[in-house]
Amino acid sequence: QLTFDFYAASCPSAEFIIRNTVQSASLNDPSIPGKLLRLVFHDCFVEGCDASILLKGNGTEGSDPANLSLGGFSVIDSVKRVLEIFCPGIVSCADIIAIAARDAVEMTGGPQVRIATGRRDGRFSAASNVRSNMADTTFSIDAMTKLFSSKGLSVNDLVTLSGAHTIGTAHCSTVRDRFKEDSRGRLTGIDPSLDKLYGEELMRECLAGGDLSSALVSNDPQTSLSFDNQYYKNLVVHKGLFQSDSALVEDERTKNMVEDFATSQERFFSSWVESFRKLTSIKVKTGDAGEVRRSCSSFNR
């Protein structure tokens, strides 16, 4: 069982230290909040929120292709380094990931979320676990709903948490399936659920950025650094970046919610608070389960 103020006695400055480190890292590099927010999703969906994503080594989750573009690890490591000086062995890497993501949202203009703590770190991480537990941009609403419900998350949570794509970037390779390439390397749009002008803009940016695997595009071009409801406004006008984003406005089960969030940032934010708490509580290890790692990239020996 997670509790509020779990570190009140054992490490009262824990959340303050995390916030400060996230803040200075983000000021230095505006891509950090997006990276930290994506990290908690990839951690919590595989083995629960237990920092399994941080374990380094052959065949760990981090080595799966779906995880190669993750970032923000250096921020988690610097938080941990400071915490090990002030309160050695007390604050788990799993809690650091969750709190850092929470702070990243608030720092970019999103809602404040008070989250419970006391997550313990796992001692297991396998790449073979990733594919079956993560969503892919080609997923249908059915497939995403099924995956989310296997984590205790509802269709509402799916629509709400997808709003994370209001910040951050994506590699062009992840939107490649929305275009077809002719023999001379030119791209044309083939996805009817994508706005034509937006599609052309995407192709231009991707081609200008060099090869498709390294070029980056913004998830939410108008307000890519701001956690707002612009993502849903984009979906309504068929400017969702991934096919899995576009699908949310094509399907009757999710369309109404998308339209609602597009008209009310307030309702998106209050839904976010609930859904984010659920995301960060998936299969948490507490009490005597797992451990508190001394270094986030390897379990204790």
Residues that bind ligand HEM (CB under 6 A): 31, 34-35, 37-38, 41, 69, 71, 135-137, 139, 144, 161-162, 164-165, 167-171, 174, 219, 242, 244
42 is catalytic: yes
Q: Which does 228 bind (CB under 5 to 8 A by kind): Ca ion, ligand HEM, none?
A: Ca ion
Q: Which does 166 bind (CB under 5 to 8 A by kind): Ca ion, ligand HEM, none?
A: Ca ion
What tokens appear for 299 in the block? 């379990």
HSE-up of residue 48 (Cα within 13 Å, Cβ side): 17
Q: Which ranges in 68-185 belong to alpha helices (H)? A: 73-86, 93-107, 141-150, 155-162
Other Cβ atoms closer than 10 A to 27: 10
The size of the interface with Ca ion (CB under 5 A), counted in residues, is 11
Asked whether position 230 contacts Ca ion by CB under 5 A, the answer is yes
Q: Which does 226 bind (CB under 5 to 8 A by kind): Ca ion, ligand HEM, none?
A: Ca ion
- Residue 258 near residue 193 (C-beta atoms within 8 A): no
We find the least distance from the C-beta atom of residue 200 to ligand HEM, in angstroms, to be 20
Q: Which does 115 bind (CB under 5 to 8 A by kind): ligand HEM, Ca ion, none?
A: none
Q: Which is nearer to ligand HEM, 35 or 120 (CB)?
A: 35
- String of DSSP letters for 41-81: HHHHHTTSSSSGGG--STTSGGGSGGGTT---HHHHHHHHH
Phi, psi of 218 (to 5 degrees): -80, 140
Q: Which is nearer to ligand HEM, 25 or 170 (CB)?
A: 170
Q: Which is nearer to ligand HEM, 41 or 299 (CB)?
A: 41
Q: Which is nearer to ligand HEM, 230 or 244 (CB)?
A: 244
Rounded CA separation 87/142 (Å): 45
Q: Which residue has the tokens 């991934």?
A: 242
Indicate the SS3 state at residue 188.
strand
Burial 49-82 (b: 16+ CB within 10 A, else e): bbbbbbbeeeebbbebebbeebbbbebbbebbeb
Q: Say which of 42, 165, 171, 238 is annotated catalytic.
A: 42
We find the least distance from the C-beta atom of residue 40 to ligand HEM, in angstroms, to be 7
Asked whether position 254 contacts Ca ion by CB under 5 A, the answer is no
Asked whether position 245 contacts Ca ion by CB under 5 A, the answer is no
Asked whether position 166 contacts Ca ion by CB under 5 A, the answer is yes
Instruction: Determine which residue in the list 14, 35, 47, 103 makes contact with Ca ion, applying CB under 5 A.
Output: 47
Pairing of β 216-218 and β 169-171? antiparallel
Q: Which is nearer to ligand HEM, 13 or 138 (CB)?
A: 138
What tokens appear for 114 in the block? 């008070």
Q: Which residue has the tokens 């990733």?
A: 130
Asked whether position 95 contacts Ca ion by CB under 5 A, the answer is no
Q: Which residues are catalytic?
A: 42
Residues that bind Ca ion (CB under 5 A): 43, 46-47, 50, 52, 166, 220, 223, 226, 228, 230
